């Protein structure tokens, strides 16, 4: 695995929602390795972040954790406010918080649907709103990466609410990128496929009866013989956050072993 060069995010203040584990935590570590000055991670379980904060400090970044359920608008917005209060600004945002609770078209309740919309769409919307407002007020460029999913292209029948919320996030990514391109604020999305994270392990055990070793068994059926690696996804996120990705904005990148629309 080749990492981005270690000065790609030098001096940047980076906010990562859902950053206490999985892809979000990997993105925080990648930002620190790339020279970010400060990294703020949010999550509903900040107790999980102590080890991560130690890692970020060893990599040379100031860091802090903000308790936030992005499904609650006030807490989502407060994560940006807390970042600006602590470090004076926010330069980069990674919207990595999300849920994948199972539900088909026929058995999804209004409550389950609303929870997906609140966490996977509304939270990122208002985090972006607050972050972009700070960037525009300062007259400075910025970069945002929304962690989406391959399921946003249609998805599995048991992910009806999830696919719907993430499909809307794809549209929001393009809309916001177009609206703020003249402000030099770049907004892109990463459609991540099946990835080996603690959250996915919990989901597989809870909903699909998976036992120990399920990751290896699942990986054997994939083209590269393994599940996707969150650290590799994090490298792509760091690239999109950095100036190394140039003028790229409004792009939705499929980061997976499959190719949408291609068939044998």
Q: Tokens 């990492």 — which residue?
A: 3
- Annotation says 162 is catalytic: yes
Q: Which residues of 248-260 are buried (b: 16+ CB within 10 A; e: fewer)?
A: ebbebbbbbbeee
What are the CA-CA distances from residue 96 to residues 25, 141, 170, 223, 233 (Å)?
9, 21, 13, 25, 11
Centre a 10 Å sphere on the Cβ of residue 84 and count the other Cβ atoms it contains: 19
Query: Nearest-CA neighbor of 59 among 6, 5, 2?
Result: 6
Torsion, Cα 153 154 156 162, to 10 degrees, reads: 80
Phi, psi dihedral angles at 258 (to 5 degrees): -105, 165
- In whole angstroms, give the CA distance from residue 243 to residue 66: 27
Burial of 196: CB neighbours in 10 Å, binned 0-12, 13-18, 19+: middle
Q: Are 35 and 29 in contact (CB under 8 A)?
A: no
Look up residue 154 and give its DSSP letter: S
Q: Beta partners for 233?
A: none
Of residues 162, 227, 236, 252, which has the active-site annotation? 162
Alpha-carbon gap, residue 232 to 236, rounded angstroms: 7
Catalytic positions: 162
């Amino acid at each position: 695995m080749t990492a981005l060069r270690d000065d790609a995010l030098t001096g940047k203040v980076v906010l990562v929602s859902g950053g206490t584990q999985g892809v979000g935590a990997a993105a925080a570590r990648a930002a620190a390795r790339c020279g970010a000055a400060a990294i703020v991670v949010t999550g509903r379980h900040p107790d999980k972040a102590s080890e991560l904060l130690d890692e970020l400090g060893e990599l040379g970044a100031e860091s802090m954790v903000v308790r936030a359920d992005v499904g609650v608008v006030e807490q989502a917005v407060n994560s940006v406010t807390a970042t600006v209060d602590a470090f004076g600004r926010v330069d980069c945002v990674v919207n990595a918080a999300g849920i994948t609770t199972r539900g088909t078209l026929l058995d999804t309740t209004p409550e389950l649907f609303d929870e997906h919309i609140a966490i996977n769409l509304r939270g990122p919307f208002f985090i972006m709103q607050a972050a972009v407002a700070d960037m525009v007020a300062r007259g400075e460029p910025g970069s945002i990466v929304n962690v989406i999913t391959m399921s946003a292209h249609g998805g599995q029948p048991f992910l009806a609410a999830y696919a719907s919320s993430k499909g809307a996030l794809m549209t929001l990514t393009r809309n916001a990128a177009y609206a703020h391109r003249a402000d030099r604020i770049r907004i892109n999305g990463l459609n991540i496929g099946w990835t080996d994270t603690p959250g996915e392990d919990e989901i597989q055990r809870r909903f699909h009866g998976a036992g120990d070793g399920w990751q290896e068994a699942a990986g054997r059926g994939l083209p590269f013989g393994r599940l996707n690696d969150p650290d590799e996804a994090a490298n792509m996120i760091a690239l999109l956050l950095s100036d190394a990705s140039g003028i790229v904005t409004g792009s939705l990148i499929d980061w997976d072993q499959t190719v949408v629309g291609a068939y044998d």
